[in-house]
Structure 1
Amino acid sequence: MGNSKKQNTRTSFVALLGGLITAVIIAVTSLALLAAVGINNFQATQQPAATTPAITVSAEKGAVEETVDVKVHSLRDASVTLTGASLGAGVVTSPTLPVGSTIKEGDSILSINEKPVLIIQGETPAYRPLGPGLKGDDVAQLQEFLVRENFKHWDKKGVFGASTALALAKFYKERSLPVVNENGEPTTSLRQAGLPLSRYFFAKSMPLEIAEDCGPAGQQAADFKCVLQSSATSTVISSSADRDLQGMQVLLTRVSGQPVAATVGQPTVKQQATGPKEADAAQEAAQPATERWFSLTGLPKDSAEFAENARVVVQTSAKDGLRIPATAIHEDANGQSFLQSASKTDSGEKATTNHPVNVLFCANSYCAIEGEKLAAGMEFSVLE
C-alpha cells in the first residue's frame, strides 16, 4: 500500500517536470523567432533608399535660331504734297480736279499759263530742269517714264543724250504740246528737247488720289498746294524690341499658308494703315510706345496679304552644328561651361566626366555648342 503511494507521487512529479520543460522550450523558441523577425525588420530599415535615375538629354545636329517676333502691316504709301515753289511765276489756268479724283502717271495735274504740269513716277524729287548733257537718277526716272509711254531711247541709263531728247520730243508731239528746251523755250531742234522744272513733279508711287482741295483756277502759281494720297500699299513690320533689325531676314506667311522670306529694310515711320479707321485706332491703342517700324525689301512682286505675325532671324547657327537643351549646360566656379556625362571607374564604381564646351549662344531653350570629342547622340545629365 505504501509502495503504491510512492509510485503515484513519483509519476505526478515526472509529469509536472516534463510540462515545465516543454513550456520553457516553447517560450525560448518564440523569443528566438521574435528576435529574428526584429533583426530582419531592422536590417530592412537600414537598407539605402532606391536612387532616382539621372535625367539625361542628347546632343543633336541642327541649327539654333534666335528670333524676334514682329507685327506685319499693310500701309498706304506716304502722301505727296505738291506746292507751287518750283512752278515759277504764273497763274493756274485750268480748273483743279475735285477731291477723290485719280491721277495716273503722265496726267496733267494743273496748267500754269496754259502750260500743263505733268506728274511722273520716281523716288528722287524734282529739283532741276532736265536737258541734254545731264546725268543722274532723275534723268533715269524720266527715261523710264518715256519707255513706259512707248518712247524708246538708246542712251545709257541716267544719261540725257540725243536719243532721250528725241524720245521726249516725240512725247510732246503726241500730246500736241510744243517742243521746248530745258528752260521752257520753244525749239525746232528735237535734239535740244528738255523738261523745265516748272513743267513736272515726281511722285514715289502711282496712281494717286487727290486728298484735299487744290484750290481754284486763277490763283497764283506760288500759292498752289495740293495733297495727294497714294492708292498703293506697302508691307512693313513693327517691333517692340529695342534693337536695329535692318538687314536681317524676316520670315512671313501668306494668308494662304505659304512661307515668304524677305529682308528688313530701312527704319520708317508709321503711316496710315489700310482698313476701317476704327480698327486702326484700336490697333494703335494696343501698340507699345517704344514700337519701331521698318520697311521690307525683296518681297515678291505678286505679294498677297500676309499673316499678322512674323519672325525676324537675329542670328542662327550652322545647320550641321551641334545643339543641346540649355538645361544640360553646367558652369564651374570659374565660369567655364561644361557638359556632364555618366561614367565608371576602373573598379566599376559610378562616376561622372566633365566635357568643356564653348556655348555660341542660346535661344528658344536650346544652345549652339562646340567642343572637342563631342558628337550627336552623346548623352549628358541635366542640371538638378
Structure 2
Amino acid sequence: MSRRIVIGVVAGAVTVAVAVLATLGYGGRGARDASPAAPPPKTAAVTRTTLVDAVHLTGKVGYGTAEPFAGRLTGTLTKVAAPGTLLRRGDVAYRVDDQPVVVLLGEIPSYRELAVGVKGPDVKQFKENLRALGYRGFTVDSVFDGSTAVAVKQWQKKLGLAETGFVELGRVTYLAAPVRVAEQKQRVGEQAAPGTPVLTVTGTDRSVTVELDDKKAALAKVGTKVQVQPAGGKTIDGTMAAAETVQDGGQTKTVLTVSVADQSALGGNDGDSVDVVVVRAEKKDVLTVPIVALLAVGDGYGVEVFSGGGRRIVPVTVGMFAQGRVEVSAPGLGEGTQVGVAGQ
C-alpha cells in the first residue's frame, strides 16, 4: 500500500486525473501487461528537477498610496510644487502670500512657535535640520537660545523671509523622509487654510501595488520575498513591504505594496502591469513525472514503467504537485525511466 503525501494541489483535480486514466485502461489493482500487438504506448521520461508551487498576481507600477500634505498657514497660494517634484530637506513645497513653506525631516510635527527660551525635543529636531542644512555656531540640543536665533536669521535671509530669529507655526512642515509630489490639490490663486491639503505626496521610490480579494488575502505577509516580472523585462527581486485592508464599493480587499530595490530594472511607466510571483513551496532536485502519468493503485498511486520491451505497474509515493508535474519516489525508479502517460 503506497503512502500518499500531497502538497500544494487541489485533491479534486487529482481524482479527476486518476479517473480519466482508469477509464483509458491505465491502472487500478490487477492491471496486467499489455499485449505485444497493442499500439505503441505514449511515454515520458522521469526527470530530476526543481518543482515550484507559485501564485501569479497582477500588479501595477507606481509610487504607492498618495498621502495629503496639509499646511498651517492662511493666505493666497502664489506657488505650488508641480507633480513629480521631489521634496527633500530644505525644499519649498509651496508659497503662501509669496512666503515659503519649507520641508524639514523629522518625526515630531510642528505644533508651536520656536523662539528664544523654548525647550523640548521639537527644538532639538529643528536644530538638527539647521545643522544638516549647513548652518553652524550653535549647539544641537533641546534649548532655543541666542545662538540658535542667529542661525535662524541666516536661514531666513536665504529664504527671503523677514529675519526675526524665531520660527512661526506653519513655516516648516516635517516629513519622515523625502517625498514626491503626486497631485496638486489646490492651485495658485486659491486660499490656503490650516488643515486643508495643498498637495498629495508619495514615497520617492517606485513600487508595485497588488489588489487581492478575500480568497488571496492570506498571501499578503509583510517581509515575504517575491519576484516581479515586467513585460519584456528581466525578473526582479521584490519584498512585500506593506499590506492594508480597505473597503471598495462595500467589498473588502487587501492592497499589497511590493518594494523593489533595483529601481532601474523596474523600467516602464507608471501604471504598467507586471506579474508578481509568490512562491508558496519549492522542492529541489526531486524526481518528477507528468501528473497524467499517475495511475490508481489500490488506495494510492502508481506509474506504468516501460523497460526492456516490457511494461509493469510500479507503486509510487507522491509528494509535491506543481507546474503540471508531481514528485514521485519508488525503489528502482530513476531519472530517464520511461513511464506511460495519457493525452501526451
Same fold (TM over 0.5): yes
SS class of match (1:262): strand
Match among 239, 254, 275 for residue 310 of structure 1: 275
Q: Which residue of 2 aligns with 1:338?
A: 302
Choose which of 184, 191, 198 in structure 2 pairs with 1:210: 184
Distance 1:126 1:290, change over 3 A: same
Q: Which has the higher contact order (CA 8 A, sep 6+)?
A: 2
Secondary structure of the 1:327 match is helix
Aligned to 1:300: 262
Q: For the structure 1 residues 82 and 323, does the alpha-carbon distance in structure 2 shift closer, same or farther, using more than 3 Å as the test?
A: same
SS at 1:96 equivalent: strand
Structure whose alpha-carbon radius of gyration is higher: 1
Question: Given the superposition, is the C-alpha separation of residues 55 and 128 from structure 1 closer, same or farther in structure 2, using an over 3 Å criterion?
Answer: farther
Query: Offset of 1:240 from its aligned partner?
Result: 5.6
CA contact (8 A) 1:358 1:370 kept: yes
Aligned Cα root-mean-square deviation (Å): 5.0
1:67 pairs, out of 26, 29, 54, with 54
Q: Residues of 2 paired with 1:120 and 1:355: CA distance?
A: 70
CA contact (8 A) 1:120 1:201 kept: yes
State how far apart, in whole Å, the 2-side matches of 1:169 and 1:256 are: 57
- Secondary structure of the 2:152 match is helix
CA distance in 2, matches of 1:382, 1:134: 73
CA contact 1:240–1:290 (8 Å) conserved in 2: no
Aligned pairs (5 A) from 1:80-229: 80-83=67-70, 87=72, 92=74, 95-98=76-79, 101=82, 104-105=87-88, 106=90, 107=92, 109=94, 117-120=101-104, 126=109, 134=121, 149-150=133-134, 172-176=152-156, 199-203=171-175, 205-208=178-181, 210-213=184-187, 222=194, 224-229=195-200
Structure 1 residue 186: deviation in Å? 6.8
Classify 1:176/1:151 alpha carbon distance in 2 versus 1 (closer, same or farther; 3 Å).
closer
Hey, what's the Cα distance between the residues in 1 that align with 2:264 and 2:288?
A: 37
The one-letter amino acid paired with 1:326 is I
Q: CA deviation at 1:342?
A: 4.2
| 1:373 Cα deviation from its structure 2 partner | 4.8
Offset, 1:294: 1.8
The aligned length equals: 279
TM-score, normalization by structure 1: 0.53
Query: What SS is found at the alignment partner of 1:53?
Result: coil
- Between Structure 1 and Structure 2, which shows a larger proportion of strand residues? 2
One-letter code of the match for 1:379? Q
Amino acid at match of 1:340: E
Secondary structure of 1:64's match?
strand
Which whole-Å CA distance do the structure 1 matches of 2:119 and 2:253 have between them?
47
Whole-Å separation in 2 of the counterparts to 1:341 and 1:116: 80
State the shift of 1:134 in Å: 4.7
Q: Give the TM-score, by structure 2 length.
A: 0.59
CA distance in 2, matches of 1:337, 1:167: 83
How far did residue 354 of structure 1 move? 1.9
> Residue in 2 aligned with 1:329?
294
The letter of the residue matching 2:200 is Q
Percent of matched pairs sharing the same residue: 15
Contact 1:254 1:304 in 2 (8 A): yes
SS of 2:289 mapped into structure 1: strand
CA distance in 2 between counterparts of 1:325 and 1:166 reads 80
- The answer as to whether partners of 1:205 and 1:230 remain within 8 angstroms in 2 is no
Residue 22 (structure 2) pairs with residue 57 (structure 1): no
